[in-house]
Amino acid sequence: MVERSCLTVVLAAGEGTRMKSALPKVMHAIAGRPMLGHVLSAAKEAGSGRLALVLGPAMEQVRAYAGQAAAGAALFEQGERLGTAHAVLAARDALREGADDVVVLYGDTPLIAADTLRKVRAALAEGADIVVLGFRAADPFGYGRLILDSAGELAAIREEREASEAEKQVDLCNSGVLAFAGAHMPALVEAIGNDNAKGEFYLTDAVEIGRARGLKLVVIECPETEVMGVNSRAELARAESLMQERLRAAALAGGVTMTDPSSVFLSFDTVLGRDVTIEPNVFFGPGVSVGEGAAIRGFSHLEGARIGQDAQIGPFARLRPGAEIGLGAKVGNFVEIKKSDIAAGAKVNHLTYIGDASIGAGANIGAGTITCNYDGYNKAKTVIGARAFIGSNSSLVAPVTIGDGAYVGSGSVITKDVSGGALAVERSQQIERAGWADRFNEIGARKKRT
């Protein structure tokens, strides 16, 4: 079978005024990734070899992000916002290069699935000229209705204000996502006029034009939630909730145990191995992978971290970007790890900060230990060897190296390297003055009586 070429045009010029934000609407994040990123990912996963993004003026953040998330995508600017067809025609140079399939998506529909887009493209491969993605609405009020003829083919898209009473009872609604056989683009879109109340060019008018030209029109259905647009903070929160449900379901199906799935928040790229256990109230930011059999205890916050097989994290642990936790290692309660590798079997059990450090296999880091890695201008590294023991309440002033098997006495401030197998203790000599406390208390009691 010959592979079909595909151009996906993503409309992302909307200002999103209802978001009440300085951030462009499509840059608001769902599961740790901008909404636009989810749409681009779905398009690429569905086999789109070319991407064209239509942006509004002065959308530099979107341009910069698109350059990272979709390298090679063609960027176009819609100077005036005169409707969806007008936006598509802003990318006419990309349309004229030709493609077997042309799919039009929206940057604010982050839940669109690659499987759905594959079905849309399959309909084009089977001979459809125009494919409209529809959904069955629980409450169709306000949506354009997809009106089918007696043969079950799409006859029209009827907007709410123009629908008859009978048509208003139809629950099959228009998502706005359309796909075209490339041979009919851009001529179909260029034929769209603006003879309507708003004087705008609507892409949905291509259906009526296509039917008049005898083209084959097909409707593909998908779940309503998949094509929900995000135009407000409330809708952003709803989309986040739906995405989390999707990610949790995939994790559970992959062999992960969650004692309270609804309280676990995953990122779009979270990787969880088989037999991982996640306790309640755990947050995964972008860039986290967890090896098989690891346990993530409650109230932990992880981002940009790799966790090895059978490791234990938390409760109340924070792993920041660059944290590398080895096989069977333990990171306990109220421990923060940043840009550090904790080797196999090492233990950092409580009340500790480890930053810009390397902890050797089997080392033990006592409670209250701090790696002093920042002097106000530069970061420096701490190296702790295998099987080293760091006593509680120690401060390790970087750059410093603690050798294999070395022992640091509790309460020490270590500013020089410690040889392997050696004991290092740095603290003031303890002084005891007999009877001092009794005299102090006696004087204090007299003063209180007077």
* CATH number of the domain that residue 247 is part of: 2.160.10.10
Taking alpha carbons only, the member of 174, 73, 185, 39 closest to residue 124 is: 185
Statement to judge: residues 31 and 137 lie in one domain: yes
The alpha-helical segments, DSSP class H, found in 108-213 are 114-125, 165-168, 187-190, 205-212
Statement to judge: residues 65 and 45 lie in one domain: yes
Statement to judge: residues 92 and 200 lie in one domain: yes
Contact 373, 358 (CB under 8 A): no
**227 to 39, 112, 439: CA distances (angstroms):** 11, 6, 79
Two tokens, residue 338: 């940043």
Asked if the peptide bond before residue 399 counts as cis, ω within 30 degrees of 0, the response is: yes
Taking alpha carbons only, the member of 180, 205, 220, 125 closest to residue 7 is: 180
How would you write the pLDDT of the chain (450 residues) with one tens digit per residue? 468 999 999 999 988 889 999 999 999 999 999 999 999 999 999 999 999 999 999 899 999 999 999 989 999 999 888 999 999 999 999 999 999 999 999 999 999 999 999 999 999 999 999 999 999 999 999 899 999 988 888 988 988 888 889 989 999 999 999 999 999 888 899 999 988 878 889 999 999 999 999 999 999 999 999 999 999 999 999 999 999 999 999 999 999 999 999 999 999 999 999 999 999 999 999 999 999 999 999 999 999 999 999 999 999 999 999 999 999 999 999 999 999 999 999 999 999 999 999 999 999 999 999 999 999 999 999 999 999 999 999 999 999 999 999 999 999 999 999 999 999 999 888 899 999 999 999 999 988 877
Statement to judge: residues 280 and 419 lie in one domain: yes
Question: Tell me, what's the pLDDT at 151?
Answer: 83
Domain with residue 223: its CATH number is 3.90.550.10
Contact 381, 398 (CB under 8 A): yes
Measure CA of the first residue to CA of the last residue in the chain; give whole Å.
Answer: 102
> Domain residues for 22?
6-227
Statement to judge: residues 270 and 207 lie in one domain: no
Residue 299 has a CB neighbour count (10 Å cut-off) of 17
- E strands within 78-190? 101-106, 130-136, 145-148, 154-158, 172-181
Which of 227, 256, 277 delimits the end of a domain?
227
Question: Tell me, what's the pLDDT at 153?
Answer: 85
Statement to judge: residues 216 and 323 lie in one domain: no
* Distance, CA of 390 to chain centre: 37
Q: What is the DSSP letter of 126?
A: T
89-90-96 Cα angle (round to 5): 60
Judge whether 384 lies within some domain: yes
Judge whether 191 lies within some domain: yes
Taking alpha carbons only, the member of 179, 249, 172, 170 closest to residue 217 is: 179
Statement to judge: residues 357 and 254 lie in one domain: yes
Taking alpha carbons only, the member of 95, 92, 207 closest to residue 157 is: 207
Decide: pTM greater than 0.85: yes
Judge whether 260 lies within some domain: yes
Q: Is 184 known to be catalytic? A: no
Statement to judge: residues 182 and 263 lie in one domain: no
Question: Tell me, what's the pLDDT at 58?
Answer: 87
Burial of 161 (0-12, 13-18, 19+ CB in 10 A): exposed
Taking each helix axis from N to C end, the angle separating 60-69 and 35-45, rounded to the nearest 10 degrees, works out to: 30
Number of domains in the chain: 2
Judge whether 132 lies within some domain: yes
Judge whether 447 lies within some domain: no
Q: What is the DSSP letter of 30?
A: E
Statement to judge: residues 306 and 366 lie in one domain: yes
Question: Tell me, what's the pLDDT at 14?
Answer: 84
Contacts of 245 (CB under 8 A, 6+ apart): none
Q: What is the DSSP letter of 374?
A: B
314: amino acid identity, one letter? G
Judge whether 446 lies within some domain: no
Residue 402 and residue 359: Cα distance in Å, rounded? 9
Helix (H) or strand (E) holding 441: helix 436-449
Question: Tell me, what's the pLDDT at 2?
Answer: 62
Statement to judge: residues 221 and 173 lie in one domain: yes
Statement to judge: residues 219 and 243 lie in one domain: no
Question: Tell me, what's the pLDDT at 1?
Answer: 42
Residue 434 has a CB neighbour count (10 Å cut-off) of 6
Contacts of 165 (CB under 8 A, 6+ apart): none
Helix (H) or strand (E) holding 364: strand 364-365
Statement to judge: residues 30 and 155 lie in one domain: yes
Contact 110, 73 (CB under 8 A): no
Which of 227, 260, 294 delimits the end of a domain?
227
Judge whether 158 lies within some domain: yes
Question: Which of 28, 86, 301, 350 is the catalytic position?
Answer: 350
Residue 339 has a CB neighbour count (10 Å cut-off) of 17
Judge whether 212 lies within some domain: yes
190-108-96 Cα angle (round to 5): 25
Which of 209, 227, 245 delimits the end of a domain?
227
Q: How many residues does the chain have?
A: 450
Cα-only R_g, the chain: 31
